[in-house]
Homo-oligomer: A and B are copies of this chain.
């Protein structure tokens, strides 16, 4: 990925990554991003679901969504995804830190109009959240498709920032009798809870079993 003025990691440059492999890996590990854009002069930030297909992100929502109505104009937007991997406890208050993996994208969205691509995009978003679920469900009706808007965001300007290391203290502090280390934080999937209105005798489906196994 081309490094631009907007994507260049200035603070702690060694933590900046610009290769697609690193950026895609973080994107593929998540399905919620935060999107920022300017609306009536104010910065607005909204969490939304996405799906990645090659070098594009797809987002979707209601046809009447204010965010999508604004973004489809092609206004500049910024996306961030941040995964906290751990709290880094140093000997000094000053050197406390976090281990994390973060991706920031600058770009703009376009409205997807082709019915083929719209349908494909919905499957991509579904697969991003839980693979194989699309094959199990009642697929979108014409009415539901009509109520859904899909935007595509090419990943043109993007960078990743990663910290993954032990604490880094001042030389003289290593002699202090203060514990230092990392408290890892993980996101964990718990056992599925059936809908209270579920018909009797319907087993946990393959998509859910596979997601649980992946953890």
Contact = CB atoms under 8 A, between A and B. Distances in A.
Given A89-B208, A129-B87, A98 B181 contact: no
Contact of A44 (B36, B130, B190): B36
A37 interface: yes
A120 interface: no
Number of copies: 2
Contacts of A212: 183
A102 B189 CA distance: 19
A40 to B, nearest CB: 9
A140 B47 contact: no
Interface in A22-79: 32, 34-38, 41-47, 49, 62, 65-66, 76-79
A181 B192 contact: yes
Given A38-B38, A182-B195, 12 more contacts: A11-B62, A38-B41, A42-B78, A92-B138, A96-B137, A167-B195, A179-B194, A179-B202, A181-B198, A182-B192, A183-B192, A183-B193
Interface of A: 6, 10-11, 32, 34-38, 41-47, 49, 62, 65-66, 76-80, 82, 84, 87, 89-94, 96, 98, 100, 102, 104, 106, 122, 126, 129-130, 133-134, 136-141, 144, 148, 166-167, 173-199, 202-205, 207-208, 211-212
